[in-house]
Structure 1
Amino acid sequence: MAQKIGSLYASLDLESANFLNGLKNATRATDRAATSIDKAMLKVSTAVKGFVAVWAANNAIQGAQKLMELADAGKKLEGQLRLATDGFGSYGQAQKDVQRIAAETRADLNETGMLYAKNSRGVKELGGSQQQAALMTENFNKALKVGNAKTQESASAMLAWGQAMNSGKMEGEDYNSIIDASPPLIEALARALGKPIGEMKKLVEEGKVTGQVMMDALTKPEYTQKLIDDFQKVPKTWEETVTLIENQAQTLVTAFDRGSGLSNAIVDLFQSGVDGATDMGRSREQGHRNACRIRSHGTDHPRRLRSSGRCFRASTAGRLRYVR
């Protein structure tokens, strides 16, 4: 019994030792795994921080780019309105008109401004007023909404209308672009002429749709009331809401930029960088040329030819690479 008991004790001791050794090994393995996990997490953390930094930088660049786009659009619009109101009405009133019309007709600010400028030039030639130019622009935008014109169709119709106003009469191509975008516009012209819409194409070909007819069609209440009533029935859309938000953003950025000159400062900064890079490239190129001249005066002709060949390859294959 004793031996058995002793044997039992011995066996327990042995198993206990194995257990402790296994526990130690498991602990060391766990420590190594924990260390590996820590290192992996550090790498992940570093990668995430790098990703966040890149993402933030990319967003900052995109934000700056959008800011510059809005500022540029605002400058172009201001330039067009200043030209259009030179000797005709008030530039300040033109700004107010364009912002109001774009908001009320749920239209793009820049497109509205360009149309306003073209209408202003045409109305000026006809002896009309700035108020008439504004009313023409407003009712034109409403007609596009009533006609459910798509973006490209609207752009084509605006271009055609502006050309017709500037030339003094509507041509066949202008008519096609306008009726494709908005039949209600042609209907207004037909009312102004007192003719059925079916005769409009012929009247255009005969040169009867003049700038005066176009102005009357979109400014006189007896010709525009139906258009205005129909516009009130057109439902508002999410796309129009986004357009209005973008209009407001451009207006704010333009006002801020006008006071701070931020966009000009950014352009000057980047232009300085471009000029610096250009000067650096020229200096590097001149350095290669000087190196080639020095080598070409050597006494070792084969070596000189090899050197000249390297210079030639460097100057043609990559001017910024140092050549030995």
Structure 2
Amino acid sequence: MRHLPPGSQATANRRAFTLVELLVVIAIIGVLVALLLPAVQAAREAARRMSCSNNLKQLGIAMHNYHDTLGTFPSGWISTNGAGWSALILPQIEQTNLYNSLDFNATNSWSATGPNRTACETLIAGYRCPSMAAATKEDFNGIAGRVPASYRGVASSTADCDDPGGSISGRHMESADLEGILFGNSGVRFGDITDGTTNTFMIGESWHDSAFNQDNNSADFWYIGSPQIKNNQTEYSEFVGSTAVPMNSRKIATTNGHYKELSYTSYHPGGAMFCLADGSVRFVSYTINLATYKALGSRNGGETIGDY
């Protein structure tokens, strides 16, 4: 009888996985991966949302610094030269050199050959939500590398259209007495926010989609400056929106294009973030009561704001 070396019996009796066992192991691994991926995606989205919140927080600080320096918040846009609030606060977000490169008085300042084209093509991370799905740069309005924006100022709680032509309420972005903080040629001061800075939206998230077109309206949102505003072709929605229209109107099939253009929507599930006049940032659910939501867009409406 042949004797095996010590310890070799276990080796002799060891066998490989059967096909069934291998398939079971693969199935278990697949289940574990399927369970893990949503958690990983959720963690990534939480990190992006936190970064987005920080962007808005920094914009709120910049707005306060602008007010401290000049005595008012910036205009939502300047109709005579097409500059937006996002251009006016450049020195407050450490973009002084870019601000100094702007020519606010040139005839075609925002055109493809104008002096401000480079600024419109400059990516500023603080103006872009990390979850934003749009391209970093787009060829639009003659500016080959125009950079989309994720954040727009809050101009009104009643305006439902960019111009008088499509307004149902009679309130639109060309109105000179809008209720928000950032509207055309505005110069709102802290003292003008009689509803309280903790109860008034200043900047909100928006979903950029330059390919969208409904009722001759586009969901194209940009920063720095606009050749269309400069040439009195409205398009104020490039810089601002309104709480007069429901949040996330892009998902409401029966909503007209004027509403969708002015609506606030984020790239985060369930709602959008807003920077309030006190500089704080709140995540607001799409299911917020519409009356409350409208009231938050007004600086001086006298409404009582409850929990939201």
Q: Give TM-score scaled by structure 1 length.
A: 0.29
Larger radius of gyration: 1
**Higher-strand-fraction structure:** 2
**Higher-helix-fraction structure:** 1
Greater relative contact order structure (CA < 8 Å, 6+ sep): 2
Q: Give TM-score scaled by structure 2 length.
A: 0.31
